[in-house]
C-alpha cells in the first residue's frame, strides 16, 4: 500500500495531503511550520496522518523558502562577476520610478553590494563573435580573492551571452574548479533572453538562494531517508510543474512562487475535469487574495516575475504562472484616515495578533471580524472548533470605526460590517477584472473556482459584483494548494531570444531552434524524471513591428508563417479589440514547455470520508436591506454527490465556510465540488 503525498509549507502551517493509491482514503493534516528546521513540521504531519514514510512512493513539495530568503535577505556571502564595465548594471537597474510622484522613492537595495561585484576582461559582440577572449588568468586571481573572502556563492553575467554563452560556460567551469563547494551559476543557465539587467538580476537571485536551498534539500532528503522513505521527491516549480531535486539545486530560483501555484494547478485540473474551458481561480487567505486565469486547461505563464513587487523589487526571468495579487484577505484591517475615509487593507492583522475575534490582543477590525458580526462565520466551528471566535471583541473593534462614520446602534454596526466586506469585495473584484480584461476576456464567461480560507465565503458576493453565474468550491478549499500539488505534472521550460520578421524565411530557422529545444527538453525530462516526454507546447512571443510589448501565441509544431500570423492576429484581436491585417509582424522569442506525465491521484477520490451531521440553522445578514435571514447551516462532509438545495445556506467544513446567497441554488457535483448557480441576472448590489 503506497501513498502519493503533497507537502506545502506556508507561513503559519505545513499542510499535508496523502493519497492512498488503493483509493481507499485521503488524509489531510496540518502542523505548525517549524522555522528552525522545516523537516520537523513535515515529519510531524506524517506522524499525525499515521503514515509511515516507507509507505510513500512520491512526494511533491512546495515551499516559501526561496521567496522568504529573497525578501528577508537572509543568505550568506554572494558575489557577482561580470564583463568589464558592467558590474553596476545590477544597481542601476532600469532607472524607472514606478511611484512617479514619490519624492523619496527608492528601490530595494541590490542583492549583491558593489564591493562584492567584480569584473573580468572578456567581450562577446551582439552577433555572438568573440571581440575579446575571456582572460582566465584574471579569473584565477579573482577566484583566489573570492576564496579568501569566504564567498559562498557566485553569479556570473557576461554581456551578450544570450547569443553566445561560451564565455559564461568556460568561466563556470573554471570557477567550479577553483572554488570547490561554492555555488556557481551563470545567467544563460537560467535565461537565454536579451536585456542585461533582467539576466543579471535573475542570476544574482539564483546565486543568492542557492546555498540555502541546497542545504535544505540535502537535509530534507536525509531526514526522509532516515524515516524509511525510498520514493521520489519532486519540488513544486513556479511554472506549474514539478522539478527534480537535482534541477532544484541548479535552478533554485524556479521555486520562487512554489507555494501559491499549487492551488492554481488544482483549479486548472478541476476546470478541465468538470468541462469548464474558462475558469478563474480565486484564492483568499489571511493577507492577500490571488487569482489566475485558466483557458482550455492552460495558464498564462509570465516570463518575468518581480520579487517584492514591481514598485520596489527586482525582476526574475523565470516562468511563473501569472498570478495577480491584491492585499485583501481575512486579516485585512479596516481603518479610517484623517478625513474619515474608510479603507480596507492592505495592512493585515496576520495570524498574530490576528483579527480581533481571535482574542489574541488584536484591536483593529478586520474582514473576518465583519463576517463574524454578519453571522456568516460560526464562532464555535472555526477551524473545526479549534479556535473559538469572540463575537464581542469583533463588535467592539468594528464599533471603533463605525462611530466616527455616524453608524450607530445595532443597525449601524451591521451596516459597518457589511460595508467593510463590500469594500474588500470591490478590491478583490478589481483584481479579477484586471486579470481578465488584461487578456481581453469578460469575467462573466468564466467559472469562479474559489478556495483558501476566505475564498468560499466571498465567492458568491464576487460573482454578484462580476456577474459570474457559476461558482465552484473544490474539495478541501483550506488545503487546496497542497491538493493541487499532488496533481502537478513534470514541466521544463526554455526560452530563446529570436529576433526576426515573421515570414517563410524565419520559419525554417525557427523550426531548427525549436527542434533543438525539444531535444533538450525531452532529454531534461528523461534525465530528471526517467520519464518520456508527454507533449510539447510552443509559444512564440510576437508583436507588430514597432511595438515594444509582445504577446505569447500558442503555435502548433509545423505551422507555416500564414498560420502563425493568423493565430497572432486572432489572439491580438481578442486581447486588444483590434488587429491590423497589413502591418508587419516580428518574432521576439521562442518558448518551449515540455511536459511529462506523473502518476497522480484520481481527483474524484479526494473528498474526506462521509459523515452524518444534523443540519442546523442561524441568522445571517446578506443584503442589509433585508435584515438577518434564517439560514440553513450544513456540514460539508454530510452532503452526498447529487445533493441540491436553495440558498440562503452556509456550508461549513474544516478550514473554510461557503456562503450561498438567497436566490442562489447549490448542488454537490461529481468531484464532490460545491457548485453554486448564482442568481446574478437580478443584479443584486454587492454592497451588502
Partner 1 sequence: MPHDRHSSAARTIDPITLEVIGHGLTSITDQIDANISRTAFSPYIYEYKDYAVAITTATGELITTSTGGMPVFVADAVGMAVKDGLATYGRARLHPGDVIVCNHAGVQGQHLNNTVMYTPIFARAGAGAGAGAGAGAGAGAGAGDRDVGVDKDDGDDETAAVELIGFFAINVHWIDIGGTAVGAISFRTEDIFMEGLQLRTVKLWSKGEPVEDMYRVIENNTRFPQELMGDIAAQLGGCLLGRDLVAALANKYGVQSFFDVIEAIFDKSEAAVRKTIRAIPDGVYEAEAFLDNDGVTEMRIPIKVRVVIEDDEITVDYSDMAPQVGSCINSGRYGGGRTTARLAFKYLIAGDENANEGTYRPLKLILPDGTILSASDDAAMALYPIPFPTVIDTFIRALEGALPERVTAAHFGTYSSFRLLGKRPDGSTFSCTDSGHGGWGACATHDGAGPFRTMAHGDSHIIPAELQEALYPIRIESFALRPDSGGAGQYRGGLGIVKQYRILAPCKLFANFDRVDCPPWGIRGGLGGRPGQVTVVRSDGATEVFYKSEGLALEPGDRICVETGGGGGYGEPALREASLIERDLIRGYISQENAQRDYGVRAHSGARVAM
Q: Is 677 in the site for partner 1 (CB under 8 A)?
A: no
48 or 439: whose CB is closer to partner 1? 439
Q: Which DSSP letter does residue 169 get? A: H
Return the range that interacts with partner 1 (CB under 8 A); candidates 86-94, 254-262, 300-308, 451-459: 86-94
CB of 665 to partner 1, least distance (A): 17
CB of 675 to partner 1, least distance (A): 20
As a whole number of angstroms, the distance between CA 546 and CA 226 comes to 59
Sequence-distant (6+) residues with CB within 8 A of 680 are 463, 464, 467, 468, 469
CB of 337 to partner 1, least distance (A): 8
Q: Is 527 in the site for partner 1 (CB under 8 A)?
A: no
CB of 424 to partner 1, least distance (A): 11
Sequence-distant (6+) residues with CB within 8 A of 576 are 440
Return the range that interacts with partner 1 (CB under 8 A); candidates 184-192, 268-276, 415-423, 515-523: 415-423
The grid coordinates of residue 206 equal 539564483
As a whole number of angstroms, the distance between CA 512 and CA 130 comes to 24
CB of 505 to partner 1, least distance (A): 17
CB of 120 to partner 1, least distance (A): 9
As a whole number of angstroms, the distance between CA 561 and CA 211 comes to 45
CB burial string 525-545: b at 16+ within 10 A, e below? beebbebebeeebbbbbbbbe
As a whole number of angstroms, the distance between CA 302 and CA 323 comes to 9
254 or 402: whose CB is closer to partner 1? 402
193 or 390: whose CB is closer to partner 1? 193
Residue 595 sits at the vertex; the CA angle it makes with 594 and 601, to the nearest 5 degrees, is 170
549 or 599: whose CB is closer to partner 1? 549
Sequence-distant (6+) residues with CB within 8 A of 173 are none
In the range 616-655, which residues lie near partner 1 by CB under 8 A? 623-625
Q: For 244, how many CA atoms within 13 A lie in the half-sphere containing its CB? A: 13
In the range 89-108, which residues lie near partner 1 by CB under 8 A? 89, 91-107
Q: Is 157 in the site for partner 1 (CB under 8 A)?
A: no
In the range 321-360, which residues lie near partner 1 by CB under 8 A? 337-343
CB of 325 to partner 1, least distance (A): 15
Burial of 138 from C-beta contacts in 10 A (0-12 / 13-18 / 19+): middle
405 or 534: whose CB is closer to partner 1? 405
In the range 229-288, which residues lie near partner 1 by CB under 8 A? none
Listing DSSP states for 67-83 in one string gives: HHHHHHT----EEEEEE
Q: Is 580 in the site for partner 1 (CB under 8 A)?
A: yes
As a whole number of angstroms, the distance between CA 237 and CA 245 comes to 11
296 or 438: whose CB is closer to partner 1? 438
Name the phi and psi angles at 417, rounded to 5: -60, -45
The grid coordinates of residue 636 equal 460539508
As a whole number of angstroms, the distance between CA 632 and CA 680 comes to 21
CB of 326 to partner 1, least distance (A): 10
Return the range that interacts with partner 1 (CB under 8 A); candidates 256-264, 416-424, 482-490, 590-598: 416-424
The grid coordinates of residue 378 equal 460560526
Q: Is 1 in the site for partner 1 (CB under 8 A)?
A: no
CB of 333 to partner 1, least distance (A): 15
Residue 652 sits at the vertex; the CA angle it makes with 394 and 400, to the nearest 5 degrees, is 10
As a whole number of angstroms, the distance between CA 210 and CA 182 comes to 10
Given a contact cutoff of 8 angstroms between Cβ atoms, the answer to whether 590 and 514 are in contact is yes
CB of 417 to partner 1, least distance (A): 9
Exactly one of 583, 602, 643, 670 binds partner 1 (CB under 8 A); that residue is 583
Exactly one of 207, 587, 620, 680 binds partner 1 (CB under 8 A); that residue is 680
In the range 483-512, which residues lie near partner 1 by CB under 8 A? 499
Q: Is 438 in the site for partner 1 (CB under 8 A)?
A: yes
Name the phi and psi angles at 589, rounded to 5: -155, 155
665 or 686: whose CB is closer to partner 1? 686
448 or 559: whose CB is closer to partner 1? 448
Q: Give CA separation, 275 vs 279, 292, 341, 606, 679, in Å.
A: 10, 18, 44, 18, 21
As a whole number of angstroms, the distance between CA 473 and CA 464 comes to 16
4 or 124: whose CB is closer to partner 1? 124
543 or 600: whose CB is closer to partner 1? 543
Q: Is 406 in the site for partner 1 (CB under 8 A)?
A: yes
Residue 525: strand, helix, or coil: helix
Total chain residues near partner 1 (CB under 8 A): 96
In the range 116-135, which residues lie near partner 1 by CB under 8 A? 117-119, 125-126, 131
272 or 278: whose CB is closer to partner 1? 278
Q: Is 297 in the site for partner 1 (CB under 8 A)?
A: no
Given a contact cutoff of 8 angstroms between Cβ atoms, the answer to whether 78 and 151 are in contact is yes
518 or 623: whose CB is closer to partner 1? 623
Closest CA to 480 of 368, 603, 296: 603
Exactly one of 440, 532, 604, 670 binds partner 1 (CB under 8 A); that residue is 440
24 or 309: whose CB is closer to partner 1? 309
Q: Is 400 in the site for partner 1 (CB under 8 A)?
A: no
Q: Is 150 in the site for partner 1 (CB under 8 A)?
A: no
Amino acid at each position: 500500500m503506497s501513498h502519493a503525498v503533497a507537502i506545502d509549507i506556508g507561513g503559519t502551517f505545513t499542510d499535508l495531503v496523502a493519497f492512498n493509491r488503493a483509493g481507499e482514503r485521503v488524509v489531510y493534516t496540518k502542523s505548525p511550520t517549524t522555522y528552525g528546521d522545516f523537516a520537523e513540521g513535515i515529519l510531524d504531519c506524517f506522524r499525525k496522518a499515521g503514515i509511515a514514510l516507507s509507505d510513500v512512493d512520491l512526494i511533491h513539495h512546495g515551499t516559501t523558502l526561496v521567496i522568504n530568503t529573497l525578501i528577508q535577505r537572509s543568505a550568506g556571502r554572494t558575489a557577482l562577476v561580470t564583463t568589464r564595465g558592467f558590474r553596476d548594471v545590477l544597481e542601476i537597474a532600469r532607472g524607472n520610478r514606478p511611484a512617479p510622484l514619490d519624492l523619496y522613492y527608492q528601490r530595494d537595495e541590490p542583492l549583491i553590494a558593489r564591493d562584492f561585484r567584480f569584473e573580468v576582461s572578456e567581450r562577446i559582440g551582439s552577433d555572438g563573435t568573440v571581440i575579446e577572449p575571456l582572460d582566465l588568468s584574471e579569473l584565477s586571481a579573482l577566484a583566489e580573492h573570492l576564496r579568501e573572502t569566504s564567498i559562498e556563492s557566485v553569479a556570473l553575467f557576461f554581456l551578450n551571452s544570450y547569443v553566445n554563452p561560451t564565455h559564461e560556460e568556460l568561466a563556470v567551469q573554471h570557477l567550479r574548479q577553483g572554488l570547490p563547494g561554492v555555488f556557481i551559476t551563470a545567467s544563460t543557465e537560467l535565461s537565454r533572453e536579451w536585456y542585461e539587467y533582467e539576466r543579471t538580476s535573475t542570476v544574482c537571485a539564483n546565486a543568492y538562494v542557492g546555498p540555502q536551498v541546497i542545504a535544505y534539500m540535502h537535509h530534507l532528503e536525509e531526514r526522509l531517508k532516515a524515516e524509511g522513505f525510498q520514493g521520489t521527491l519532486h519540488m513544486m516549480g513556479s511554472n506549474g510543474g514539478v522539478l527534480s531535486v537535482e534541477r532544484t539545486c541548479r535552478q533554485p530560483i524556479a521555486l520562487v512562487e512554489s507555494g501559491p501555484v499549487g492551488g492554481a494547478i488544482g483549479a486548472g485540473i478541476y476546470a478541465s475535469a468538470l468541462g469548464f474551458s474558462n475558469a478563474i481561480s480565486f484564492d483568499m487567505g489571511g493577507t492577500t487574495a490571488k487569482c489566475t486565469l485558466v483557458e482550455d486547461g492552460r495558464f498564462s505563464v509570465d516570463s518575468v516575475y518581480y520579487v517584492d513587487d514591481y514598485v520596489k523589487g527586482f525582476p526574475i526571468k523565470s516562468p511563473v504562472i501569472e498570478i495577480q495579487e491584491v492585499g485583501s484577505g481575512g486579516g485585512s484591517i479596516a481603518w479610517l484616515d484623517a478625513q474619515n475615509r474608510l479603507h480596507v487593507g492592505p495592512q493585515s492583522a496576520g495570524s498574530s495578533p490576528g483579527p480581533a475575534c481571535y482574542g489574541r490582543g488584536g484591536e483593529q477590525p478586520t474582514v473576518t471580524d465583519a463576517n463574524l458580526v454578519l453571522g456568516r462565520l460560526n464562532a464555535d466551528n472555526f477551524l473545526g472548533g479549534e479556535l473559538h471566535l469572540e463575537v464581542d471583541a469583533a463588535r467592539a473593534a468594528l464599533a471603533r470605526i463605525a462611530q466616527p462614520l455616524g453608524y450607530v446602534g445595532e443597525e449601524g454596526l451591521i451596516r459597518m460590517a457589511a460595508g467593510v466586506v463590500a469594500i474588500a469585495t470591490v478590491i478583490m473584484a478589481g483584481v479579477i477584472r484586471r486579470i481578465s480584461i488584461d487578456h481581453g476576456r469578460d469575467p462573466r464567461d468564466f467559472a469562479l473556482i474559489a478556495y483558501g480560507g476566505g475564498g468560499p465565503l466571498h465567492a458568491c458576493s464576487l460573482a454578484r459584483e462580476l456577474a459570474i453565474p457559476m461558482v465552484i468550491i473544490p474539495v478541501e478549499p483550506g488545503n487546496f494548494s497542497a491538493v493541487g500539488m499532488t496533481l502537478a505534472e513534470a514541466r521544463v521550460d526554455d526560452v530563446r531570444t529570436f529576433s526576426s520578421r515573421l515570414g517563410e524565411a524565419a520559419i525554417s530557422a525557427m523550426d531548427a531552434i525549436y527542434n533543438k529545444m525539444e531535444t533538450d527538453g525531452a532529454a531534461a525530462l528523461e534525465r530528471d524524471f526517467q520519464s518520456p516526454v508527454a507533449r510539447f507546447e510552443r509559444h512564440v512571443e510576437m508583436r507588430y513591428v514597432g511595438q515594444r510589448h509582445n504577446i505569447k501565441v500558442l503555435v502548433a509544431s509545423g505551422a507555416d508563417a500564414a498560420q502563425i500570423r493568423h493565430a497572432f492576429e486572432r489572439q491580438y484581436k481578442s486581447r486588444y479589440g483590434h488587429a491590423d491585417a497589413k502591418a508587419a509582424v516580428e518574432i521576439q522569442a521562442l518558448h518551449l514547455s515540455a511536459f511529462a506525465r506523473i502518476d497522480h491521484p484520481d481527483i474524484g477520490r479526494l473528498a474526506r470520508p462521509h459523515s452524518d451531521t444534523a443540519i442546523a440553522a442561524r441568522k445571517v445578514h446578506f443584503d442589509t436591506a433585508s435584515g438577518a435571514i434564517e439560514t440553513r447551516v450544513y456540514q460539508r462532509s454530510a452532503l452526498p454527490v447529487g445533493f441540491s438545495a436553495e440558498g440562503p445556506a452556509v456550508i461549513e467544513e474544516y478550514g473554510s465556510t461557503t456562503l450561498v446567497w438567497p436566490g442562489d441554488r447549490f448542488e454537490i457535483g461529481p468531484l464532490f465540488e460545491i457548485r453554486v448557480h448564482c442568481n446574478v441576472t437580478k443584479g443584486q448590489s454587492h454592497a451588502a
